[in-house]
Structure 1
Amino acid sequence: MSCIAIVGAGPGLGVAVARRFGREGFGVALVARDPGRLDALVGELGANGIRAQGFAADVRRPEELAGALERAVDELGTVEVLQYSPVPHRDFMRPVLETGPRDLVGPIEFSVYGAVAAVQQVLPGMRRLGRGTILFVNGGSAVVPHTERAGTSIAFAAESAYGHLLHERLAREGIHVAQLVIPGAITPGHARKDPDVLAELLWGMHRDRHGFRHFADDLDA
């Protein structure tokens, strides 16, 4: 039995992805900092017949994140799909000339150290399965740096490079690594950026396994 682990699970995209993969028979591990929010999401999904459990962890604490994913395997089975999609803090988005060395610690911990910790925790299980999918979800500054959002621009670029390296290295092992870039805000009712539309796109990326970088919308949207 296998599951999808959604790191950075929330009531928008996280729940939509949980519903989409849950309909395909996946157990769902929701990983986020707030245990109360996780309980509410698990309850919502359970009412819709989705087998889900919450695991509290802070992505800026690699050992804590790894421990949450280890517990997810114990409870739900091997992580076959990992989605890394925590929403950055607003204080990461400072103008470039106001961004000093210490201002980059948080964004790098959030987007790089956390991502690496999550991948290294689930990769052995994927290798044992002989298959797996790793999905990184980022904003538009992962592709076009923004002078007013220096922290996320720098950290997303590093996360993108890490993901691309994984894509090239793991393909030979049957493990697909891909990135979804979502320019602007996730918007309910939007033709391309509604959570359910994005969840369908992520399901297609897992199913079709073509290419590394995918775009939810035009970069200037």
Structure 2
Amino acid sequence: MNEQVHEDSKPVIVVVGAGPGVSGSVARRFASEGYDVALLGADQAVLDDLVPGLEALGAAVGHTVADVTDERAARDAVRRFGEHTGRIDVLHFNPSAYREKDPLTLTVDELLTDVALGVGALLTVVQAARPYLVAGSRISVTGSMAADEPWQGAASLGVQKAGVRNLVHSLDKSLQDDGIRAVSVTVCGALARDGAFTPDRVAEAIWSAVTTGEGDWLSEVPYRG
């Protein structure tokens, strides 16, 4: 693990499933607001590509490669981030599996493998982060309209997105008495390079959801562009 995040007064975001799309845009959006950034991803080269842009925004950046379906590896990575920074102000969860199989060809093992990534890994990282979350900390998840309007050609994706949204509702209820809230931002459109559904626009919606005041908090926020 490359540990560059330092203990100071700056808030910290941990981005799980860090990559070049929405998660990278989320990291940059929070870095632009003065957050230090910890990246947990599956590809070292991708993480290395993200770091210079984040540092240019003034963020101290730590990054680790881990398979988030490996519970021990994921817990250890998040715990190391927490121990190093002393705090986790935002935990953003982005992973999901896209498998082009309809429900007549998708096997149970394949479905469970995908759900382990897109839903189960959220449990792992939240439980690992919990000692470092304090009143005011937030958990955010990249949701999708596939939860309500699944495409049968990639049947497991809709199951993942419906499941992770449901889990976010439960997390929010479980943590709210401690001042910690969780939100799933449902992206009601297809990601694109231009228009309303660019990764940067989605990241802006996630920033807006995370920074919503307690009195107006919702555990699901649709982003319709």
Aligned residues of 1:62 and 1:113 also touching (Cα < 8 A): no
2:41 pairs with one of 29, 32, 38? 32
Aligned residues of 1:15 and 1:45 also touching (Cα < 8 A): no
Aligned residues of 1:136 and 1:178 also touching (Cα < 8 A): yes
CA 1:48/1:25 → structure 2, altered by over 3 Å: closer, same or farther?
Answer: closer
Q: Secondary structure at the match of 2:184?
A: strand
What is residue 134 of structure 1 aligned with on the other side? 139
Q: Secondary structure at the match of 2:58?
A: coil
1:18 pairs with one of 23, 27, 46? 27
Offset from partner CA, 1:177-214 (integer Å, 9 cap, x none) = 110111343223212x1222222211111111421111
Aligned residues of 2:20 and 2:50 also touching (Cα < 8 A): yes
Query: Alignment length, in residue pairs?
Result: 213
Q: Secondary structure at the match of 2:153?
A: coil
Q: TM-score, normalised by structure 2?
A: 0.87
Q: Establish whether residue 102 from structure 1 lines up as the match of residue 106 from structure 2.
A: no
Stretch moving more, 143-152 or 27-36: 143-152
CA–CA separation in structure 2 for the residues paired with 1:100 and 1:17: 33
Structure 2: 5+ residue stretches without partners:
1-8
CA 1:77/1:124 → structure 2, altered by over 3 Å: closer, same or farther?
Answer: closer
Give, as a single letter, the amino acid of the residue that structure 1 aligns with 2:178.
E
**Identity %, equivalent residues:** 27
CA–CA separation in structure 2 for the residues paired with 1:42 and 1:212: 30
Residue 87 (structure 1) shift: 4.1
Offset from partner CA, 1:114-150 (integer Å, 9 cap, x none) = 1100110112221xx2221111112221222332222
Residue 51 (structure 1) shift: 1.9
Residue 173 (structure 1) shift: 1.6
1:198 pairs with one of 202, 213, 221? 202
What is residue 213 of structure 1 aligned with on the other side? 220
Structure 1 runs, 4 residues or longer, greater than 4 Å off: none
RMSD, aligned α-carbons = 1.8
2:132 pairs with one of 125, 148, 155? 125
CA 1:138/1:75 → structure 2, altered by over 3 Å: closer, same or farther?
Answer: same
Give, as a single letter, the amino acid of the residue that structure 2 aligns with 1:73.
G
Q: TM-score, normalised by structure 1?
A: 0.88
What is residue 5 of structure 2 aligned with on the other side? none
Q: Establish whether residue 170 from structure 1 lines up as the match of residue 175 from structure 2.
A: yes
Residue 99 (structure 1) shift: 1.6
Aligned residues of 1:19 and 1:50 also touching (Cα < 8 A): no
